[in-house]
Amino acid sequence: MSYCLDCIQTSFKTLASRPFLSVLSILTMGVGIGTLMNHFIIYKGVMDPNLPFPNSEEIVTVSFVGDVEQSNKNIPKHLIYYWINNQTSFEALSSFQEGTINVYYQNRAIRYSGGWVHPNLMDMLKAKPFLGETFKPGDDELESPKKVILSYKIWKNDFAADPSIVGKEILVNSESTMVVGVMEEGFHFPFQSDLWVPDTYYPGAMLPYDPKPTSMVAARLKEGVSMVDAGKELDQLKEDFVAAIPKLYQASIPTDSQVNVASFVSMMTDEVTRNIMKLMAAVVILVMFIASANVSNLMLASASTRLKEIAIRNAVGANRTQIITLLLLEGAIIASSGIVPGTIFSLWTIDWVNAQITQQNEIPFWFQFSVTGTSILWGSTIAVITGLVAGILPALKVSKLKMSQILQDDSRTASSLHVNATNRTLVVLQISVSCALLVVAGMMIRQIASYQNKTFTFESDSVLTARLGLFDGKYKSLESKNEFIQTLLRNLRNEELISSAAISTRLQNLYSSFDLGFQLPTEDGTGFKDQEHRSHSDLVTTDYFDVLGVGPIEGRKFPERIVSGPTEDLEVIVTEEFVEKHFPDESPIGKRISIRTIDQSSEIKKIGKTYEIIGIAPDTFVHNDYIDEIDSVGIYLNILKAPPRFITIMVRPAEGLNPYSLVPLLKRSVAEVDKEIPLYFIETPGDSLKQEYAGLQFAAEWFSILSGLALFLSFVGIFGISSFSILQRIQEIGIRKSIGSTSLEIFTLILRQGLAQLLLGLTLGVIAALTLSVALKDLTYNINPFDPIVYLSVILILTVSTLLAAIYPASKAARIMPAEATRVQ
Amino acid sequence: MPENDPYIIKLEGIEKVYYTDEIETYALSGVHLNIKKGEFVVISGPSGCGKSTLLSIAGLLDLPTVGNYRFRTHDTANLKGKERASIRNNEIGFIFQSFNLIGNLTVFENVELPLIYRRIKKEKRKEMTLAALERVQMTHRRNHLPSQLSGGQQQRVAVARAIVGGPAVMFADEPTGNLDTQNGNRVMEILKELNNDGATLVMVTHEKAYESYADRVVKMLDGKVMEIVDQKSKRGVA
Ligand SMILES: Nc1ncnc2c1ncn2[C@@H]1O[C@H](COP(=O)(O)OP(=O)(O)OP(=O)(O)O)[C@@H](O)[C@H]1O
Ligand SMILES: [Mg+2]
pLDDT tens profile A578-600: 898 888 888 889 888 888 754 44
CA B172–ligand 1 middle distance (angstroms): 16
Residues A688, A467: contact at Cβ < 8 Å?
A: no
Provide the pLDDT for residue A782.
64
Which is higher by pLDDT, A792 or B23? A792
Does residue A692 carry a pLDDT above 80? no
Provide the pLDDT for residue A86.
92
DSSP 8-state class, residue B148: G
Segment among A399-413, A498-512, B139-153 with least mean pLDDT: A399-413
**Mean pLDDT computed over A211-228:** 85
Q: Report the Cα–Cα distance between both ends of chain A, in Å, rounded.
A: 33
**Cα A28 to Cα A21: distance, rounded to the nearest angstrom:** 10
Which is higher by pLDDT, A312 or B206? B206
At residue A414, what are phi and psi to the nearest 5 degrees? -75, -25
Does residue A316 carry a pLDDT above 60? no
Longest dimension (CA), chain A: 109
Which is higher by pLDDT, A756 or A411? A756
Longest dimension (CA), chain B: 52
Residues A762, A431: contact at Cβ < 8 Å?
A: yes
Nearest Cα residue in chain A from B111: A739
What pLDDT band is residue B232 in, cutting at 50, 70 and 90?
A: confident
Interchain proximity B117–A823, CB inside 8 Å:
no
DSSP letters of A128-157? PEEEE----TTTTSTTSPPEEEE-HHHHHH
b/e sequence B166-193, b meaning 16+ C-beta within 10 Å = ebbbbbbbbbbbbbeeebbbbbbebbee
Q: How far is CA A672 from the centre of its chain?
A: 39
Atom of ligand 1 nearest to the CA of B56: 18
Number of A–B residue contacts, CB under 8 Å: 95
Residues A622, A608: contact at Cβ < 8 Å?
A: no
Q: Do the interacting molecules here have an ipTM over 0.90?
A: no
Provide the pLDDT for residue A307.
65
**A662-683 tens-digit pLDDT:** 999 999 999 999 998 999 889 8
Atom of ligand 1 nearest to the CA of A824: 27
- The CA-based dihedral angle spanning residues A50, A51, A54, A55, taken in that order and rounded to the nearest 10 degrees: -60
CA-based nearest distance B234→chain A, Å: 34
Residue A174: left if φ>0, alpha if ψ -120 to 50, beta else—which one? left
**A347-368 tens-digit pLDDT:** 888 887 777 766 655 666 776 6
Provide, as residue numbers in chain A, all residues whose Cβ is less than 8 Å from the Cβ of B88: 737-740, 818
What pLDDT band is residue A534 in, cutting at 50, 70 and 90?
A: confident
B171 at interface of A, judged by CB pairs closer than 8 A: no
CA-based nearest distance B116→chain A, Å: 9
Residues B175, B97: contact at Cβ < 8 Å?
A: yes
CA B52–ligand 1 middle distance (angstroms): 7
Which of 396-415 (A) contact B at CB < 8 A? 411-415
Measured by CA distance, the residue closest to atom 25 of ligand 1 is B47
Interchain proximity A732–B102, CB inside 8 Å:
yes
Provide the pLDDT for residue A268.
66
A731 at interface of B, judged by CB pairs closer than 8 A: yes
**Cα A405 to Cα B75: distance, rounded to the nearest angstrom:** 44
**A756-795 tens-digit pLDDT:** 888 998 999 999 888 888 877 766 556 777 888 889 999 9
Measured by CA distance, the residue closest to atom 7 of ligand 1 is B18
The response to whether residue B148 sits with its C-beta less than 6 Å from ligand 1 reads no
b/e sequence A628-667, b meaning 16+ C-beta within 10 Å = eeeebbbbbbbbbbebbbebbbbbbbeeeeebeebeebbe
What pLDDT band is residue A152 in, cutting at 50, 70 and 90?
A: very high
Provide, as residue numbers in chain B, all residues whose Cβ is less than 8 Å from the Cβ of A739: 88-89, 93-94, 113-114, 117, 161-162
Interchain proximity A820–B90, CB inside 8 Å:
no
Beta-strand relationship, A609-617 and A592-596: antiparallel
Provide the pLDDT for residue B79.
87
**Cα A348 to Cα A326: distance, rounded to the nearest angstrom:** 34
**A546-556 tens-digit pLDDT:** 888 886 678 88
Residue among A414, A743, A745 minimizing CB distance to B100: A414
B99 at interface of A, judged by CB pairs closer than 8 A: yes
B89 at interface of A, judged by CB pairs closer than 8 A: yes
Interchain proximity A739–B62, CB inside 8 Å:
no
**Cα B174 to Cα B97: distance, rounded to the nearest angstrom:** 5
At residue A358, what are phi and psi to the nearest 5 degrees? -70, -15
**Cα A478 to Cα A485: distance, rounded to the nearest angstrom:** 11
Interchain proximity B61–A817, CB inside 8 Å:
yes
Nearest to A474 by CA among A192, A84, A173, A790: A173
Q: How far is CA A437 from the centre of its chain?
A: 18
- The CA-based dihedral angle spanning residues A527, A532, A534, A540, taken in that order and rounded to the nearest 10 degrees: 20
Provide, as residue numbers in chain B, all residues whose Cβ is less than 8 Å from the Cβ of A415: 102-104
Atom of ligand 1 nearest to the CA of B49: 21
